[in-house]
Amino acid sequence: IVQRLDKDTSGLMVIALTPSTHTHLVEQLKQRLVKRQYEAIVHGVMTAGGTVNAPIARHHIQRKRMAVKESGKQAITHYRVITKFAAHTHVQCQLESGRTHQIRVHMAHIHYPVVGDPVYGGRKRLPKNSSETLKQKIAEFSRQALHACELGLCHPQTGEAMIFSAPLPEDFETLLDALKNERRY
């Protein structure tokens, strides 16, 4: 496996078939030549997109968690707003680096945790003034609302630029549809 996904994150990942291909693809990752784009639904209404440039390291007490720490490795996440809803935002995130749980940690760090994230999002938040349908869809969403939708890399043998994409999964689309009925903007 060249590039992994967090548990309960849907979408694309890279697996090499040979050791030489693995080495080549890992080198592309190190040189930040692999384009990784995600979509997420976060709690809160963002005003605009931006960049989170905050180093990430293991949490000092809970070793399975990551945290923004000055002593950590550089981590950069660019994000832009796709759609604003009454109490949520659908965002696109592009990784410049690739740290464990990076998007989840960075979104929580700027106070917009990913919906359904039990590690960095805290308890499930159900918007007070929303419909019972939306409350039910959020409560039923059984994973973090994070999807690896696009992956771009160079073919290890030909050097050809390749871009792969994966449509949003059904559960993500269902949640977006429920949010659209509550749309504020």
Distance CA 150, CA 93 (A): 10
Confidence (pLDDT) at 183 = 60
Q: Mean pLDDT for each consecutive 10-residue tract of the chain (185 residues)? A: 90 93 92 94 95 96 92 97 94 94 97 95 79 87 96 93 97 94 66
Confidence (pLDDT) at 184 = 61
Confidence (pLDDT) at 139 = 86
Distance CA 166, CA 147 (A): 9
Confidence (pLDDT) at 36 = 94
Rg of the chain, C-alpha, whole Å: 17
Residue positions counted in the chain:
185
The residues assigned a catalytic role are: 6
Kindly report the pTM of this predicted structure: 0.92
Confidence (pLDDT) at 175 = 95
Confidence (pLDDT) at 80 = 98
Alpha helices in the chain (DSSP H): 19-30, 102-109, 132-140, 170-180
Confidence (pLDDT) at 131 = 85
Strand partners, 83: 90
Q: Contact 175/183 with Cβ under 8 angstroms?
A: no
